[in-house]
């Protein structure tokens, strides 16, 4: 299974299995501020384990429509939206600790896994 990494995957982990390829969006790399996270991402990019891709516009639109429908649109950043859209494009799982991303992913039928904080137990609608 393909895995799309959100910022917490770099900040709260030291992952990167030897035989697996990971994906992310440019905005996630822009969010990395600490040396360890930046080094982890840079090493993964150089080794070819990390691929940076932009999501398709149709997928971004689909995420925005679903986020508006469930009330999470105002809680999602552009980065979050692009991570979700890329996961749709790749039929991938998202690795994130962001509960709003996890909730939106659940409503979109995207698999997800937590890094340190765990995972949401049920989908919810925001008012």
Given this model, what pLDDT does residue 1 score? Answer: 87
- Rounded to whole angstroms, the Cα distance separating 12 from 14 reads 7
* 76 found inside a domain: yes
Look up the CATH number of the domain holding residue 74.
3.40.50.1010
CA 116-65-67 angle, to 5 degrees, is 30
Mean pLDDT of all residues in 65-92:
97
Residue 45 pLDDT > 90, yes or no? yes
Which of the two residues, 63 and 127, has the higher pLDDT score? 63
What count of Cα atoms within 13 Å lies in the side-chain half-sphere of residue 83? 31
The reply to whether 124 falls in a domain is no
**Looking at the domain assignment, is residue 63 inside a domain?**
yes
Q: Has residue 127 been placed in a domain?
A: no
**What pTM was estimated for this model as a whole?**
0.92
For the stretch 80-123, pLDDT in tens is: 999 999 999 999 999 999 999 999 999 999 999 998 777 887 78
Contact between 76 and 121 (Cβ < 8 Å): no
Q: Is the pLDDT of residue 5 over 90?
A: yes
68 belongs to a structural domain: yes
Please determine, for residue 16, whether its predicted confidence score (pLDDT) is greater than 70.
no
107 in a structural domain: yes
Q: Tokens 């940076």 sit at which residue?
A: 52
Q: So what's the pLDDT on residue 121?
A: 79
Residue-level pLDDT at 74 = 94
What is the span of the domain harbouring residue 56?
3-113
Grade residue 65 by pLDDT with cuts at 50, 70 and 90: very high
Q: Work out how many domains the chain is built from and give that number.
A: 1
What confidence score (pLDDT) does residue 35 get?
93
């Amino acid at each position: 299974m393909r895995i799309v990494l959100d910022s917490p995957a770099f900040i709260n982990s030291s992952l990167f299995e030897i035989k697996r390829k990971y994906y992310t969006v440019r905005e996630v790399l822009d969010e990395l501020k600490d040396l360890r996270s930046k080094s982890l991402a840079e090493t993964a990019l150089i080794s070819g384990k990390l691929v940076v891709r932009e999501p398709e516009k149709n997928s971004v639109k689909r995420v925005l429509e679903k986020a508006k429908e469930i009330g999470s649109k105002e809680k999602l950043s552009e980065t979050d939206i692009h991570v979700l859209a890329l996961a749709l494009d790749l039929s991938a799982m998202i690795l994130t600790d962001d509960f709003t991303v996890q909730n939106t992913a659940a409503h979109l039928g995207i698999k997800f896994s937590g890094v340190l904080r765990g995972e949401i137990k049920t989908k919810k609608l925001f008012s």
